[in-house]
Amino acid sequence: MIIICPGFHSPQLTEDFITNLGWRNRADYLIIPRSIEPYNFPKLQQWLSQENLDHTPLFFIGFSAGVVGAMATALTWQGNTQGLIAIDGWGVPLAGSFPLYRISHDTFTHLTSAVLGKGQQNFYGSPAVSHLSLWQNPHLAWGWWEIKLGCQVRCSVAKMINEIVTQLY
């Protein structure tokens, strides 16, 4: 199950994110309820348990403040965490025994976030896009997907996310 942890923004932006990834017909994702603050991982864990996901492999996608909740929940989840994509989670350390991916809206955020942990693969917008546009329009946010040291592919955020989800999930 894919767990989507948005930040503090209009729910319409998250609906646009789902649509622009081409996921409208998918049934294997849940968006955390707006009643749960995106950084509140104890409440997030409680909600996941209430959804009977204790024995379900989970893949987290967090955006902005939602990266805080996604990362903390993924680290402390007693079930199977398959991976985490951190989208513009500037200032949030990435660490874990599962695949991690960091997506940044520009080169500056990419470089300054790297000191807190790079993902196994990373992406940065080039040209830069706005923070909210990165979430709302991942199909229009182009840049560089760093697949491994010295190997970059020019693509959209949507392409990167869809390929990672297909490979891991």
Q: What would the pLDDT profile of 53-110 be if each residue is shown by its tens digit?
A: 988 999 999 999 999 999 999 999 878 999 999 999 988 999 999 999 999 999 999 9
Total domains present in the chain: 1
Q: What would the pLDDT profile of 120-169 be if each residue is shown by its tens digit?
A: 999 999 999 999 999 999 999 999 999 988 899 999 999 999 999 999 86
Supply the CATH number for residue 101's domain: 3.40.50.1820
Ordered strands of the 29-31 beta sheet = 29-31, 2-5, 58-63, 81-87, 100-104, 121-125, 142-148, 151-156
77/15 Cα distance (integer angstroms): 26
Query: In this structure, what are the phi and psi dihedrals at residue 43, rounded to the nearest 5 degrees?
Result: -70, -35
Range of the domain at 158: 2-168
pTM, two decimal places: 0.96
